[in-house]
Chain A
């Protein structure tokens, strides 16, 4: 019974590992964008004039080789594609993994003990639901970027002023913080996982890996870097 070879197998190109490759690459593309985005946000501390002129300059990256806003549209299309691939792979793997876990009714193991595993990190528990929070955050964040459509705190032609107006409201700061903490957790496991999936882990356990330390460091830098602007505005009155 054990050695009957089944004839028709799904191709390795559609395997869980191949799906993970697409998840890793799309994730790394979005991470690269986040780093550039954070660099731009930190220009806030140079004041209104420099911040606004930096943002206007983005419209003409590589001009005249690319049309007005050409580079931005390329970035928007690549990021949207990366997000769609990332979410598609996540949902597909989530469903496959759930089916594979061997649930009996609603539970896998009936015991109440050791429910949280032995060595897995807290961040790894947040990937799926944290990912959904992130998706909602991204949708809200993009809606907010549309010209003066959704402007908590008051609209303005100066993007610097819009940032200040928004982050003077406590609930905007709170929602933004929740979003960024979700980003941090997602990256703390996600960056490690992406590089491991692409074959770059060389350590024998999860905890001892140098990649683990790098991932956590990266997560702290990105979440912290983004949060300096709203915290400076809300707590220290920057920009007003």
Chain B
């Protein structure tokens, strides 16, 4: 298949940047989206142009490194990571717009690469959990209801790719933060620091310049891990509880 891509090109953080159009020929429909970009980059390198910078690592949909906005949708038309999106999702002759995650808290480094360090700092602000060191305890001494374990695990599958922020019209990092709050808040090991964790993470979230949640759910529809929307309500509940106890 032959396609046309319009890609956001920006030399560095200070460059203004613009959309540039390229044609890509003989694309196999079995290629992943990133492989298509690899082919384009080979073309660009051979013609002496600067290849397009984009983040990627495992290419198996589990690391969270890759991610671009394709035709206005974070990770493109399928609910998966960009590396697991295949060219068969597009028509022959399609014009595909590729842009970086847009958010005040995710400044563009180059082309499609953004700095997602803000997510690391939110996790850091959540602090530690009190867990005894030494040999592993007997697992059955600490019963966890099946439903809680499932829900906690579901939230823990968040890979921090940032699609939720890119999809949110407010540039809010609430789904990411809520996933972290939920996965520890549902487990017994997460209880001692539950209040300080939500306060620290929300303070850092806002300090990084992420926007607020308007509960429209665009984040969940783009999340490759299917983090559910009720995690945000759980975060709100936890913060309300922590503030009511005067912990802020």
- B175-219 CB contacts (< 8 Å) to partner A: 198-199, 202-207, 209-218
How far does the Cβ of A160 sit from chain B's closest Cβ, in whole Å?
41
Q: Which residues of B contact A21 (CB under 8 A)?
A: 236, 240
B226: nearest chain-A partner, CB-CB = A204
Q: Check if A12 sits within 8 Å of B203, measured CB to CB.
A: yes
Choose one: A11, A114, A193; the contact of B203 (CB below 8 Å): A11
Q: Check if B230 sits within 8 Å of A102, measured CB to CB.
A: no
User: Main SS of chain A's interface residues?
Assistant: loop
The CA-CA distance from A18 to B180 in the complex, in Å, is: 19
The CA-CA distance from A212 to B229 in the complex, in Å, is: 13
Q: Which residues of B contact A17 (CB under 8 A)?
A: 202, 212-213, 235-236, 239
Instruction: Report if A12-B240 is in contact (Cβ < 8 Å); known contacts: A119-B217, A204-B229.
Output: no
Instruction: Report if A192-B172 is in contact (Cβ < 8 Å); known contacts: A3-B120, A17-B239.
Output: no
The stretch of A38-46, A53-61, A105-113, A136-144 in contact with B is A105-113
Instruction: Report if A193-B215 is in contact (Cβ < 8 Å); known contacts: A12-B248, A17-B202.
Output: yes
Q: Which residues of A contact B6 (CB under 8 A)?
A: 110-111
Instruction: Report if A205-B203 is in contact (Cβ < 8 Å); known contacts: A198-B236, A199-B234.
Output: no
Q: Check if A15 sits within 8 Å of B72, measured CB to CB.
A: no
**Chain A contact residues (Cβ within 8 angstroms of B): what range?**
35 or more
Residues of A within 8 A of B (CB): 1-6, 9-13, 15-21, 93, 96-104, 108-115, 117-121, 124, 127, 189, 192-193, 196-207, 209
B247: nearest chain-A partner, CB-CB = A12
Q: Does B102 contact A (CB under 8 A)?
A: yes
Q: Check if A119 sits within 8 Å of B212, measured CB to CB.
A: no
How far does the Cβ of A88 sit from chain B's closest Cβ, in whole Å?
14
Choose one: A104, A109, A114; the contact of B17 (CB below 8 Å): A104
Q: Which residues of B contact A109 (CB under 8 A)?
A: 69, 72, 97, 99, 102
How far does the Cβ of B227 sit from chain A's closest Cβ, in whole Å?
9
Known: A101-B103, A199-B238. 9 other contacts (CB 8 A): A2-B121, A100-B105, A109-B97, A113-B71, A113-B97, A197-B213, A200-B233, A202-B230, A206-B217
Query: Nearest 4 pairs between A and B by C-beta?
Result: A199-B237, A206-B217, A16-B212, A100-B211
Q: Check if A18 sits within 8 Å of B106, measured CB to CB.
A: no
Q: Check if A111 sits within 8 Å of B99, measured CB to CB.
A: yes
Choose one: B170, B198, B215; the contact of A97 (CB below 8 Å): B170
Q: Check if A101 sits within 8 Å of B218, measured CB to CB.
A: no
Choose one: B124, B216, B232; the contact of A124 (CB below 8 Å): B216
Choose one: B104, B124, B198; the contact of A100 (CB below 8 Å): B104
Q: Check if A5 sits within 8 Å of B104, measured CB to CB.
A: no
Q: Check if A205 sits within 8 Å of B228, measured CB to CB.
A: yes
Q: Can you name 30 A-B pairs with beta carbons within 8 Å? A: A2-B120, A11-B203, A11-B248, A12-B198, A12-B242, A13-B248, A93-B212, A96-B211, A100-B103, A100-B171, A101-B171, A101-B211, A102-B101, A102-B102, A102-B103, A102-B105, A102-B171, A103-B102, A109-B72, A110-B19, A117-B218, A119-B220, A193-B215, A198-B237, A199-B234, A202-B233, A204-B229, A205-B217, A205-B228, A206-B216
Instruction: Report if A10-B230 is in contact (Cβ < 8 Å); known contacts: A96-B212, A111-B99.
Output: no
Q: Check if A15 sits within 8 Å of B106, measured CB to CB.
A: no
- B100-140 CB contacts (< 8 Å) to partner A: 101-106, 117, 120-121, 124-125
How far does the Cβ of B247 sit from chain A's closest Cβ, in whole Å?
8
Q: Which residues of A contact B239 (CB under 8 A)?
A: 12, 15, 17-18
A107: nearest chain-B partner, CB-CB = B102
The CA-CA distance from A59 to B233 in the complex, in Å, is: 41
Q: Does B221 contact A (CB under 8 A)?
A: yes
The CA-CA distance from A121 to B216 in the complex, in Å, is: 7
How far does the Cβ of A211 sit from chain B's closest Cβ, in whole Å?
10
